[in-house]
Amino acid sequence: MAETVVKAPLPVGEALTIQKNRITGRDAKSRRLAVVTGTHGDELEGQYVAWQLARVLEEKKNLLKGTVDIYPALNPLGISTIYRGLPGFDLDMNRIFPGSRNETMYEYIADGIIRDIKGADLCIDIHASNIFLREIPQVRVNEKTAEVLVPLAKLLNMDYIWVHSAATVLESTLAYSLNMLGTRTLVVEMGVGMRITRSYGDQLITGILSALFHLGMLDGEAPEIKRPVVSTDGSVAFINANASGFFMPNVSHGEYVKQGQSLGFIGDALNGAVKEELYSPVDGMVFTLREYPVVNEGSLIARILGGVGL
């Protein structure tokens, strides 16, 4: 059932409305899972997940205990205008949490979102990459909350869990704010900007059903899930371009590579030259790979999780 989370007035008599789809099973007040997406208007992978998850849960409603809240669009204006941030404000919505009831319109919206999600037994915050990079399905966990969140992240059927160091900017994200308020929140990153990768979405939906089962919210048998690689077993190597041109990869996304293996090259379309050959500095797994071919000096080409073998 569609419910309004928070609403704020817009010019010309319109309103910015954030909605959620609430699906309730038996003993609806016992436990609650929140699934959130659409914070960035150019990240569309979560749209399929929100749509398909609602359909799957309706089919399994007789097995569901508690409540699942699905928030498909925290930034509906961004999604409708194909704009990553908040249209008209040049702001990243994921940098204004926890918000405020007494400041700007978007801070009021952020505050309303936090108030609505707060208290859930688990929140899954779904993101995609930008248009330049493709990410394998992964969960990103702040090292401050790793002890609590990594066991939950392992339930989500993802390929990889990246435990990363804290950064000041994270303190204004939805996930950080909720975790600091005691609402366990996992950040999922997968796919590429402005596209939907159906296989990734289906993979995550299996993981969400797994989480529901382990939270005691879904009867029946637990779905079979992948065993993810965890980044604490290795270190992340960043490969950046030292020249401008177009990038042609020689490896596939998610591939395991050897130190010194060719990752691809940067070509010059004007004179037919190869401006740079790129090689892996470590043995490991390519979990981020350049999707958009045109690069400039300094552009991120790939990220490789080192210390992970075939």
Q: What is the pLDDT of residue 12?
A: 82
Give the pTM: 0.96
Architecture of domain 232-306 in CATH?
A: Beta Barrel (2.40)
Domain boundaries, the chain: 2-227, 232-306
**Tens-place pLDDT, residues 140-173:** 999 889 999 999 999 999 999 999 886 545 889 9
Percentage of the chain beyond pLDDT 90 is 90
Here the contacts of 95-99 (C-beta below 8 Å, separation 24 or greater) are 95/169, 95/172, 95/173, 96/172, 97/172, 97/173, 97/174, 97/176, 97/177, 98/177, 98/181
Tell me whether domains 2-227 and 232-306 share a fold: no
Q: What is the pLDDT of residue 89?
A: 81
Q: What is the pLDDT of residue 168?
A: 47
C-alpha dihedral sign at 50, 55, 57, 58: positive
Mean pLDDT, the chain, whole residue set: 95
**Tens-place pLDDT, residues 261-280:** 999 999 999 999 999 999 99
**Tens-place pLDDT, residues 113-124:** 999 999 999 999
For residue 117, give the nearest of 96, 132, 98 by alpha carbon.
Answer: 98
For residue 283, what is the DSSP state?
S
For residue 181, give the nearest of 100, 117, 107 by alpha carbon.
Answer: 117
* Total length of the chain: 310
Q: pLDDT band for 98, please (50, 70, 90 cuts).
A: very high
Angle between helices 45-59 and 198-214 (to 10 degrees): 50
Q: What class is the 2-227 domain?
A: alpha beta
Give the span between the Cα atoms of 180 and 141, in whole angstroms.
13
